[in-house]
Structure 1
């Protein structure tokens, strides 16, 4: 089992290098927002954006009111992409290759693009479920996963044409007792303050918000083959799958607070980050 150690870091400037304004001083008036095409610096300064992805020299970002924007010069200038009308808040974006991408958000909305983010179409939504999606990933051209609030977990096996709701922690498929990962030792770096959890911590994992999902590679030089997946979420929820998302194993967490994201480093280590600026690295 991988252990996790705390890492001290500043998160505020992670995306500053591309000039993406990830906090808005005031919401923009939709009436003055062009449907597509170039955006002024004043408009960009007021957009509320939540996530971004880089493909080559292009950066594509998503955000409030379903806005999607892209830049080919590291944020010097931006253009608005073509998106479906009445698209809600988008929370995450992922590109499978240099042309094909996916964005997810509220109302369980899933959008896709095949032209490097310049135009998008809706392939799925489930507003009645009231489960905002928080992250999306694809392991190959056919298989993909989207996760979100209240245990939302969707999968596709046909390249995103259809999406099916799944249960991540069904009783019959949850690893119990001796088969569960053993509790690891954790070392806090750069902080002597005890870890604090979320207020109103939930007891079970079934309805916890799943905030991040990534596909894992076996080693530093390997590419993910889709068999190993990792999720992080609310109230310290961590889990992994070794069979492409069919069954999941809960992982003992180094922190009771919520995690908002996860990435795998080039050396194979997994980094998870979350509440109160905490970052943990597997060892």
Structure 2
């Protein structure tokens, strides 16, 4: 909140060993408190697990579960860090990420969670997580924070993706490595933009972030192609619409569409100044864009036209999904459910 590539001989992908704490008791976080009004507090992400259960995450380590989108149960969570994203690979296994570089894992459908990674000393949040299968996954966050696991999260390795740097930054680091190794190590943790959201589109993985950053990978994030910038503000989400176009959204009501896999982009002309936080499609030709100040826009024709359905309460909508003919939103004041029939 997130060009021509120089030879990677100059700037190879760097890998650090896992920063998980656990041996130092002073670093152990406090567990999230049970909160009667957790479903009324800030929530940041929500996912449908096999169309049977909803799992939402938010501030203070809150993770909420529901099987009907009406009543919500708070899960047992070992951290109080704000959580930003949740992902499930199957009915039982899921992961959530957030501040203090926290990575949580569940093996019982979200009822209880264990801490796989916790690095408050980094002072960087993780913003998103994605698993390709039960063993291989990546997590991304502020200032290019990038972790990878190949064993289901038992171990997380930090990586520096050099090809995601702008060309001038690659040159700067290459020179710095020779002239000032100490400053070089410091700059490695600050030179990349914030990585805000991952999106898997078949075998292609997209990554969007700060200052118009967009990249894609064809090999599970091992190598990346940084795409030409089409907007100089931060992008917070990207998705594929039912009409097969790519849609990206970001600061100050900016939303864009690509019909050629991200090569070129055109801007949606929306009368909106609030920041868009998320965009999602329900597979039935509905495309939703949600954001601050209650922003809620709906298109049923692949972005040719939009209806402004923004909420009168003006509360920020962070994300959402369509579930059993309901639009379920996570907002700064908790969960909100709207019948799709009310939007017609």
Q: TM-score with structure 2 length normalisation? A: 0.56
Number of corresponding residues: 207
Q: Deviation of residue 275 (structure 1)?
A: 1.1
State the SS of the aligned residue for 1:88: coil
Q: Give per-residue Cα distances to partners, 1:144-194, cap 9 Å, x unaligned.
A: 010000110111111111111111225xx8797xxxxxxxxxxxxxxxxxx
Give the equivalent residue in structure 2 for 1:189: none
- 1:171-250 → structure 2 map (5 Å cutoff): 206-217=191-202, 224=203, 228-250=204-226
Greater fraction strand:
2
**Structure 1 residues 168 and 269 mapped into 2: Cα distance closer, same or farther (>3 Å)?**
farther
Alignment RMSD (CA, Å): 2.5
Q: Does 1:275 align with 2:228?
A: no
**Structure 1 residues 160 and 240 mapped into 2: Cα distance closer, same or farther (>3 Å)?**
same
State the SS of the aligned residue for 1:65: helix
- The answer as to whether partners of 2:209 and 2:235 remain within 8 angstroms in 1 is yes
- The answer as to whether partners of 2:38 and 2:74 remain within 8 angstroms in 1 is no
1:57 to 49, 52, 59: 52
- 1:34-73 → structure 2 map (5 Å cutoff): 34=34, 39=36, 43-44=37-38, 46-55=40-49, 56-73=51-68
Q: TM-score with structure 1 length normalisation? A: 0.67
Q: Deviation of residue 245 (structure 1)?
A: 1.5
State the SS of the aligned residue for 2:76: coil
Q: Give per-residue Cα distances to partners, 1:86-114, cap 9 Å, x unaligned.
A: 43110111111122111000010000111
**Structure 1 residues 206 and 247 mapped into 2: Cα distance closer, same or farther (>3 Å)?**
farther
Distance in 2 between the 1:142 and 1:34 partners? 31
**Which blocks of at least 5 consecutive residues in structure 2 are unaligned?**
1-31, 168-189, 260-344
- 1:1-283 → structure 2 map (5 Å cutoff): 34=34, 39=36, 43-44=37-38, 46-55=40-49, 56-74=51-69, 76-84=70-78, 86-170=79-163, 206-217=191-202, 224=203, 228-283=204-259
**Which blocks of at least 5 consecutive residues in structure 1 are unaligned?**
1-31, 177-204, 218-223
Distance in 1 between the 2:208 and 2:191 partners? 13
State which structure, 1 or 2, has the greater radius of gyration over its C-alpha atoms: 2
